Amino acid sequence: MIRYINRANLDEGKYNDCIQNSVQSRVYAFSWYLDIVCDEWEALVFDDYRAVMPIPWSKKYTIKYVFPPLWVLELGIFSYEEVQLNMFISELLKRFKFVELRLNTDNTLYNANDYSTLQKMQWISLDKGYENVFSKYRKDRKKDLSKAAKNRLKEVWGDTSTNLITLFKNNIGKRDKNIKNKDYKNLLSLMEICQMKEVGEVLSIYDDKEHLVASAFFLLHNKTVTILVSSTDLGNRKNGANTFLIDRAISRYEQQYTIFNFGGSSIQTVANYFKSFGAHESNYSFIRQNKLPALIKLFRK
């Protein structure tokens, strides 16, 4: 039996135990993470928290709608053992007329349907060590590393979260007007708590004049490292900084972790860049439904 439980009534201990020990475990689904990034969230719960599905939602014009918050790359269903995913999806679509939600790469919808599309996630196996990963870099990535050495770029681990956010705001943020001030505040809170819990790290790249030229925040969960957010100085892109940043992260994490997750993109140019490091691709399902009345137009925040 699936129950719909609001955040206030959720058994936080059982819920987080399910997330931690599930087959599909992801850091984004823990209650503390969702409390930071979501306007509101609730959950579908199967049996005695044997499987859960967190549901982030917002409200506009009195209409509740499901929409993936920024800084969350994968959600979906989390379970101790295999469960019927479609029963969760059916319950979700029955309760909300407007839904946009990413599942995770371990949630496989076997039946073709009209409410889901496949998107791409890129990743590298670290099992065989850094030298093996490096050998699969394309020539242009190795050329970028030569540029980074020529420009005397240096890596700084444990840089401040505010430095990364400022770089992001001044570059990516200027191109994406959908990112609001509250989103940056959420990101700052998230990075600080992740660092306190020792599940996140900042890596920054500086040039020989101490200018910040690239920075990223890495999430660390189980045996997977994931790029949550990153940015380069778009006005200074010919120094190999972004390639150097990713290479230094792979070198740092290859002994303790088995998967390096680029965070995923279905934008072909971005995906091709990730694949130039020798990355593989996995699919995840994106759920989309819009059964709102024709006269109602729902605008994203």
Tell me the CATH number at 199.
3.40.630.30
> How many independent structural domains does the chain possess?
2
Q: What is the pLDDT of residues 244-256, one digit of tens each?
A: 999 999 999 999 9
Q: What is the pLDDT of residues 80-91, one digit of tens each?
A: 998 889 999 999
pLDDT computed for residue 297 by the predictor: 56
**How many other CB atoms are there within 10 angstroms of residue 117's CB atom?**
12
The predicted model scores a pTM of 0.94
Same domain for 133 and 103: no
pLDDT computed for residue 113 by the predictor: 74
CATH number at residue 103: 3.40.630
On average, the pLDDT of the chain sits at 94
Q: What is the pLDDT of residues 154-193, one digit of tens each?
A: 999 999 999 999 999 999 988 888 899 999 999 999 999 9
Same domain for 219 and 140: yes
Closest alpha carbon to 264 in 285, 249, 245, 292: 285
pLDDT computed for residue 151 by the predictor: 96
pLDDT computed for residue 83 by the predictor: 87
Q: Which domain holds residue 92?
A: 2-120+284-290
The packing angle between helices 161-170 and 181-196, to 10°, is: 150
Give percent of the chain above pLDDT 90: 83
Q: What is the pLDDT of residues 11-39, one digit of tens each?
A: 999 999 999 999 999 999 999 999 999 99
d(CA 217, CA 221): 13
pLDDT at 266 over 50: yes
